[in-house]
Chain A
């Protein structure tokens, strides 16, 4: 891949350049608001400032892909976000909820993130960015990263059109992964040279740690365990609303069959003798886990959004990963790879059918 070295203080210039040179018409980019970091949609390049303190901030509020879900406008939008968010955007392109021609996906390295509440509360200790040593140190003080981040193996930027990677020391490397990305960097008049950002050893280290963390979590491996896990669910469907890859215009669970009221509930109660209220936790979550089974990017937004603090990261990413394994599919990796449910091999999967 072709890329260039970049000083942290030049990040503002890079992003401003994208707008000023007309590479993109608008940018969705994290900005610093006091102790917090939030996304903003920028048209005016002058509004971009102190990106260096926001871009790598270990804070997760929403999945940026969810913000652009269903945008099929012609204006080109640049999205600067963490790997899981860009992966979700790639899945949305495949799901035809986003137009590949009108987005420029820019991925930043991530070390794992805190929920935005924890980040704001402990900004003094956490600071503008963290590394694995700092995360361990903070863990000792009881400040822990999100569970979804702790089990994430894909923290290094390796998807999208452009990546902004942390190089040695304080310097950054910006590189184009696709033709579109390289074109954008060329338009910014950066002198590009060949860069090796494979970082296999670092990835391996992250994967080992993530796998160990996952193995230490309690496994939901029986019906009773699942029932207990979902007992507190109030079927508010927040997890669906914040999920970047849950995209149906009209959700089954907003329709009478999926969201029964009044007489329909009475009929159900008559059929079964008694039903729980609100009803259908199992049906809702099992259906949803099937619906996102190939596209879940394991960002953990569902868990953050749960008002009842159900650790949904132990459910959605863990189970969807098993489905993704049988199709050897990695969501968000390659925009040209077909979604598993839209493709087939003539001879396959018979061992999964019995």
Chain B
């Protein structure tokens, strides 16, 4: 892909965020008028433990250029231990994705409700990283 085409590439990013922390952080980023790229489509989960790793697989297989997950910091889960379980599942699915070189397209963060600025900055850096990676090769395949 030429340099010019790469600049035009606007990645589609699917994000899974927990209702209590990162979704609130996204809200805060909005109400604080922080600017961040509009490439992410956020799906709100009631807890990070709701993230079934199949969601990640499905998003990637359907051509999402990037997928991210974000929840409360470990130890600060609204439901006490949901993100501890989530962390194990994410570690497992990452290991599987890594085997096939897909792990670069799946990011995970811990962003609390008060970290609106961190959320905006994360979205900026994430979008840059995914732009750098280019389009998801799975998107155009006949699967």
Binds A, one of B7-15, B31-39, B82-90: B82-90
Known contacts A276-B142, A286-B57, A326 near B74 by CB under 8 Å: no
Q: How many Å lie between the Cα of A280 and that of B54 in the bound state?
A: 13
Residues of B near A290 (CB, < 8 A) are 53-54, 57, 92-93, 96
Q: Write the residues of chain A forming the contact surface with B, with a CB cutoff of 8 angstroms.
A: 220-223, 225-227, 252, 271-272, 274-276, 279-283, 286-287, 289-290, 293-294, 319, 322-323, 326-327, 340-341, 343-349, 352-354
Residues of A near B89 (CB, < 8 A) are 341
B92 touches A323 (CB 8 A): yes
Partner among A222, A322, A340 whose Cβ is within 8 Å of the Cβ of B88: A340
- Closest chain B residue to A222 by CB distance? B101
- Closest chain A residue to B97 by CB distance? A286
Q: Does B143 contact A (CB under 8 A)?
A: yes
Residues of B near A343 (CB, < 8 A) are 88
Q: How many Å lie between the Cα of A289 and that of B95 in the bound state?
A: 11
A352 touches B143 (CB 8 A): no
Q: Does B30 contact A (CB under 8 A)?
A: no
Q: How many Å lie between the Cα of A225 and that of B102 in the bound state?
A: 13
A286 touches B84 (CB 8 A): no
Min CB–CB distance B39 → chain A (angstroms)? 19
A326 touches B99 (CB 8 A): no
Residues of B near A280 (CB, < 8 A) are 143
Partner among A223, A225, A275 whose Cβ is within 8 Å of the Cβ of B137: A223
Min CB–CB distance B110 → chain A (angstroms)? 9
Number of A-B contacts (CB under 8 A): 99
Residues of A near B75 (CB, < 8 A) are 346
Interface size on B, residues (CB 8 A): 33
B86-143 interface (Cβ within 8 A of A): 87-96, 99-102, 107-108, 137-138, 141-143
Residues of A near B85 (CB, < 8 A) are 341, 344
A344 touches B84 (CB 8 A): yes
Q: How many Å lie between the Cα of A225 and that of B100 in the bound state?
A: 8
Min CB–CB distance B115 → chain A (angstroms)? 17
Residues of A near B6 (CB, < 8 A) are none
* With A252-B54, A345-B84, A346-B84 already in contact, 5 other A-B pairs whose C-beta atoms are closer than 8 Å: A222-B100, A276-B142, A322-B95, A323-B95, A349-B91
Q: Does B81 contact A (CB under 8 A)?
A: yes
Partner among A287, A327, A354 whose Cβ is within 8 Å of the Cβ of B57: A287
Residues of A near B96 (CB, < 8 A) are 286, 289-290, 293, 319, 322-323
Q: How many Å lie between the Cα of A347 and that of B110 in the bound state?
A: 14
A347 touches B93 (CB 8 A): no
Q: How many Å lie between the Cα of A125 and that of B143 in the bound state?
A: 45
14 contacts between A and B (CB under 8 A): A221-B99, A223-B101, A223-B138, A272-B142, A279-B143, A282-B143, A283-B58, A290-B93, A340-B88, A343-B88, A344-B84, A344-B85, A352-B91, A353-B91
Q: How many Å lie between the Cα of A198 and that of B81 in the bound state?
A: 39
Q: How many Å lie between the Cα of A343 and that of B88 in the bound state?
A: 9
A221 touches B100 (CB 8 A): yes
Q: Does B28 contact A (CB under 8 A)?
A: no
Q: How many Å lie between the Cα of A222 and that of B102 in the bound state?
A: 9
B142 touches A354 (CB 8 A): no
Partner among B58, B108, B137 whose Cβ is within 8 Å of the Cβ of A353: B108
Min CB–CB distance A97 → chain B (angstroms)? 20
Partner among B84, B92, B107, B141 whose Cβ is within 8 Å of the Cβ of A293: B92
- Closest chain B residue to A322 by CB distance? B95
Q: How many Å lie between the Cα of A348 and that of B87 in the bound state?
A: 9
Q: Does B61 contact A (CB under 8 A)?
A: yes
- Closest chain B residue to A315 by CB distance? B99
Min CB–CB distance A32 → chain B (angstroms)? 41
A322 touches B143 (CB 8 A): no
Known contacts A282-B61, A282-B143, A346-B75, A354 near B87 by CB under 8 Å: no
A221 touches B101 (CB 8 A): yes
